[in-house]
A and B are shown apart, each in its own frame.
Chain A
Amino acid sequence: MIELQELEKVYKNGQVALRGISASFKGRVTSIIGRNGAGKTTLMRILSTQLIPTSGSATINGMDILHEQDRIRKNLVSIPQEGRPIGLLTPFEHLKIYLAARGMSFQGATEASQYALKKLELWEFRNSPTDTLSGGMKRKLFVAMAIASGAETVFLDEPTTGLDPVSRLEVWSSIKELSSEVLLTTHYMEEAMALSDDIVFIDNGMIIKKGTINELLMDFDGKIRVESTQPVSGWTRIGNTYISYVDTDSASAYVRKGYSVKQVTLEDLFVRYGVQIES
């Protein structure tokens, strides 16, 4: 379980990345969703002991990120955003170096690497330099590191950003093979839907909404989405489109006024909670 207490991060240039957030993440897989710059990666880097918060604290399975970083690191795998393997090294070599860094014996590292590579169907490519692998396979290699490590907690920062749909599905299926507690950041709603138990919306350094998919969709029960290209006070603006959610009963009235009316989808969760409302 991950608990955050008044966690705040202000960078040296004055940019406020996290505004004193408090929360607890109990699901086996929790997705943090938000726009670019919302504070997702900052939160991930603080929790994985790479970045020191300005104030506040957090615990991972009861271990304090500020005072028990060595214990946390033994039980945690953190895959960075846009992380890529070293092109000249093979998947097998990556895994063995990584597991040695985690303190595993050479024999143990070899066995754990074999297990993870076979489980994620990378065995065939174990001796190929990684610069010959596809984007999806490169990302799967990082998930293989997490599997081989046997870590209790795994952080995945935007694991499928930039991948084609097939590669994305491959990575999703590999993430499902993890038996650890997983915290992942994404800005893809379908990814959160496919992988997670709980979803946390974060924007402008604050947690906007938290819950299961069903709980979050309950807010839209009986609602329909209305769009306008003209400014409307109180509606959410995305580019030149203004969006609001109204009762289904009143949909016809909006149609008569010339507004565009659409069914609510998962993307609307992102629209509603993932972006700031501009009046």
Chain B
Amino acid sequence: MVFKLNLRYILAMGWYYGFSTITRGPSYIIASLSLPLTMFFLVYMLSRGALLPYAVVGGFISMISSNALSSAGDAAFFRLELKIQDLFVATAISSTDYMIGIMLSYLVFSLPGLFIYAVIGYVYRIFDPFSSLALLFVLICMIVATTSISFIIAGFLSHIRNVWGITSILSIVLTIIPPIFYPYSYLPKYAIYLLAISPATPASVLMQGVMGLQPLQMPMAAILIAETAVYFLLAKKFMHWREK
């Protein structure tokens, strides 16, 4: 099987639905910044700066996962209300292209936040080249896995109204409860594995280890990769691209 992406469509969707719409709705940027920056502020203040590296790494992961989770709204809206998904099914793109196009447009909304965290990380010298590469790998897995979760949710919905309630709940489960903004050692071991259902958990545990903040847990890399693959395949199955 040849894995071939329609890059033209993906770039067009990312550009027009990402960059162009920012100019028409800048409030999206502020909304996408609000939760991760609030958490960063709280963690920084409550720990008096002691947990700053956790807050920065957590900010990156939280920014990506909360924005990717928001794409569930559009995935459901495009399929159920606008019927845009049906329009694209009968074209040259695959379900993967369609998903990546929406994912890229949401990544654009994350860029200002990622830039802020990158500046903070640079100023406080939190990252070295190796941890920067590890962070990049983790964020790529995170955006694919969480966008896939969004499409799985959207695929199960029969009414658009339900999407906001479900994503609000999932937002807590996927981006607040996991050890994103605090050391994973605060949690009992069984809880870490229980919370590993959220890709944010293995991502955070791995990054805290890579940065020397906590003992390195390499199995978490395998869990993160496996979760990304499984959620991606489930999204393709449940997104109603070609229905039986």
Contact = CB atoms under 8 A, between A and B. Distances in A.
A89 B17 contact: yes
Given A48-B90, A97-B16, A89 B8 contact: no
Contacts, number: 102
Interface stretch (A78-86, A176-184, A259-267): A78-86
Contacts of B84: 83-86
A89 B92 contact: no
Given A80-B87, A96-B16, A101 B93 contact: yes
B83 interface: yes
A52 interface: yes
Contact of A89 (B6, B20, B88, B93): B20
Contacts of A85: 82, 84
B242 A51 contact: yes
Nearest to B11: A100
Interface in A122-159: 129, 142, 145, 155
A222 interface: no
A77 interface: yes
A105 B87 contact: no
Contacts of B243: 45, 50-52
A11 to B, nearest CB: 9
Interface of B: 6, 8-9, 11-13, 16-17, 20-21, 24-25, 78, 81-84, 86-93, 97, 242-244
A97 B21 CA distance: 14
Contacts of B89: 48-50, 78
B12 A78 contact: no
Contacts of A73: 90-92
Contacts of A145: 87
Looking at chain B's contact residues, is the secondary structure mostly helix, strand, loop, or mixed? Answer: helix
A80 B78 CA distance: 12
A278 B81 CA distance: 35
Interface string A230-247: 000000000000000000
Contacts of B20: 89, 93
B244 A52 contact: yes
A106 interface: yes
Contacts of A51: 242-244
Contacts of B16: 89, 93, 96-97
A74 B243 CA distance: 19
Question: Sorted from nearest, which 9 A-B pairs have the closest CB atoms?
Answer: A80-B83, A80-B86, A100-B12, A83-B83, A78-B90, A100-B8, A93-B16, A101-B91, A101-B9
Interface residues of A, number: 41
Contacts of A12: 244
B29 to A, nearest CB: 14
A98 interface: yes
A102 B21 contact: no
A118 B91 CA distance: 23
Contacts of B91: 73, 98, 101-102
Which of B6, B86, B97: most chain A Cβ within 10 A?
A: B86
A69 B89 CA distance: 10
Contacts of B8: 100-101, 103-106
A88 interface: yes
Contacts of A97: 9, 12-13, 16-17
Contacts of B83: 80-84
B116 to A, nearest CB: 24
Contacts of B13: 97, 100
Contacts of A155: 90
